Amino acid sequence: MGWIARNLIACPSSSIGSRPYRDSTEMPALDTLHCRVRELLDLELPVKDAGMVLAPPALTLSPPAFRIWHPFHDDVEAQLSRFGEFGSVPDIGAKIAENAARIAAVLHVITQGPGGSISAETMEAGAAVAIWHLNEARRIVGATKIPQDVADADLLLQWLLRRAESTIEPRDILRLAPAPLRVKERRDAAINILLAKHWVRFANVGGADRLVLNPKARDRR
C-alpha cells in the first residue's frame, strides 16, 4: 500500500554507554514548545454549518517558499533512477518533497499559527529535515538488502551495458559512473566480482590497462 514510503525513517546510533547525568529540571526550549503546543490544542476548532464539519484553513507556500520547494523536488527526482544517489529507495524518495512541505507546514503552525503562507526560511528547514530522513532511509533500507559489493557489481555491469564503448579505464569509473561507484574501495570490490564471474576482463588497449566487457553480456541484456 506504500505505507512505509510515507514514513520518516530514522535509526540513529545508540548513545547507551555515553550518557552522563544531566540536570533536566531546566529545559527552557522544551518547556516553550510544550506551552506552544498546549496553546494550539486549546484553540477552538474551525467548523462550518450546523453539522459541525471541520473546516481547517489551508496553508499555502509563499512564492519564495515555492521557489525553494520546486528545485528540491526536481533535484531529488533526478536521483531516483537506479543510477542515482537515491536509487535504492525510489518509493521513499518519490514522496520526500511532499513530506518536506508537510514538515514545513508543522513548523509554520508552531511558530506562526494555523493560517497564512509558509515562508522560504520555513520551507528550507522542512527540506533539511526531510532530506536527512531520506538519507537515513537509504542507509537503513540498503543494509537490509543484498550485500553492498554484490549490488555495486550489478550496478557497474548495468552501467557498462548502457555505454556505447565496451572498454573503460578503471580510473574513469571514479569520474563517470553512478555515485556509489565513485568510491575507490567500492569500485574495486565491484570490479573483482565482475572479474570472478567473467563479465569483464582486463586487457592492454592502446598502451593502457582497460576493463573490457564480455561481448556475451550484451546478448543477455
Within 8 A by CB and 6+ apart from 216, the residues are none
Kindly report, residue by residue over 53-82, the tens digit of the pLDDT: 999 889 999 999 999 999 999 999 999 987
Report the distance separating Cα 103 and Cα 1, nearest Å.
Answer: 22
Task: Find the CATH number of the domain harbouring 154.
Answer: 1.10.10.10
Report the distance separating Cα 79 and Cα 209, nearest Å.
Answer: 31
User: What confidence category does residue 143 fall into, taking pLDDT thresholds of 50, 70 and 90?
Assistant: low
Q: Is residue 182 part of a domain?
A: yes
Pairing of strands 117-118, 60-61: parallel
Among 108, 143, 178, give the residue marking a domain's end: 143
Residues 132 and 183 in one domain: no
Residues 204 and 160 in one domain: yes
Widest Cα–Cα separation across the chain: 85
Residues 198 and 211 in one domain: yes
- Which residue is listed with cell 561481448? 215
Rounded percentage of the chain residues whose pLDDT exceeds 70: 95
Among 104, 125, 143, give the residue marking a domain's end: 143
| Exposed e or buried b per residue across 23-36, where buried means at least 16 C-beta atoms within 10 angstroms of its C-beta | eeeeeeeeeeeeee
For the chain, what is the radius of gyration of the CA atoms?
25
| Count of domains for the chain | 2
Residues 168 and 215 in one domain: yes
C-alpha 168 chain-centroid distance: 30
Report the distance separating Cα 188 and Cα 166, nearest Å.
Answer: 18
Residues 50 and 93 in one domain: yes
- Can you give the pTM of this predicted structure? 0.66
Among 115, 143, 171, give the residue marking a domain's end: 143
Q: Is residue 8 part of a domain?
A: no
Q: Decide which of 2 and 58 is more confident.
A: 58
Kindly report, residue by residue over 96-141, the tens digit of the pLDDT: 999 999 999 999 999 999 999 999 999 999 999 999 999 999 888 7
> Domain range holding 53?
30-143
The dihedral sign for the CA sequence 140, 145, 150, 152: negative
